[in-house]
Amino acid sequence: MSETKERLLQFLRYKKLGQQKFEISIGMSNGWANKVGDSIRENTLQKIKEVYPELNIAWLKSGVGEMLITGDSEGTLETPGDSETSEEITAKLIPLLPIAAQGGSLNDFVVSVKESDCEKVVSPIRGADFAMPISGDSMAPEYPNGSQIFIKRINEKAFIEWGKVYVLDTCNGVVVKVLVPSQKDGYVRCVSINTDPIFAPFEVAWEDIHGVYRVLLCMSVK
């Protein structure tokens, strides 16, 4: 067994994720994981990075650094042969969307908001596409009112990690919720962290969702 395959299987054990489900999530054929050698194509690594932003690709490729990307360690995990420049590793400016994640009335922020209208902020975490403020208390205390989240667009048809926090851009507004499976076919169930009855769970039809964004990081002023 190749060392790269051993590291990949270690990550799958950590995620409690079967090989077939992993292969589907990154768009690879059945049995691909069993054939992994010491060299993985760059476009495949990019797919893995998009779906699993917490995985340190440098570690997967060569065993450099730790398996997971956390905090200040991100800038030290790349090897000289990696494609990102040192500037991209240490800092990246991303748009701060002028929309709060809540049960609001603004539609389709990716289409309706122009990048020229957005302030640019430095993302402290690699892989984020946008930053956006949190409004309201439905996700408190983990995501308090006035905090700022860093999010990444995902392909929800490939894989969703249930029980994690996502931003949904829906026809009725932008919301940030914990996503869990729905018993209704064609729907997803949205759950608040705040247990107050006024923040009761609700369901959204997939056809009414313009985009799904994984929350990578939340920052708040103490």
Each residue's pLDDT tens digit, 25-47: 888 888 888 888 877 888 888 88
20 backbone dihedrals φ, ψ, rounded to 5°? -65, -45
Each residue's pLDDT tens digit, 49-61: 888 888 988 888 8
Q: Is the pTM of this model over 0.85?
A: no
Class of domain 92-219: mainly beta
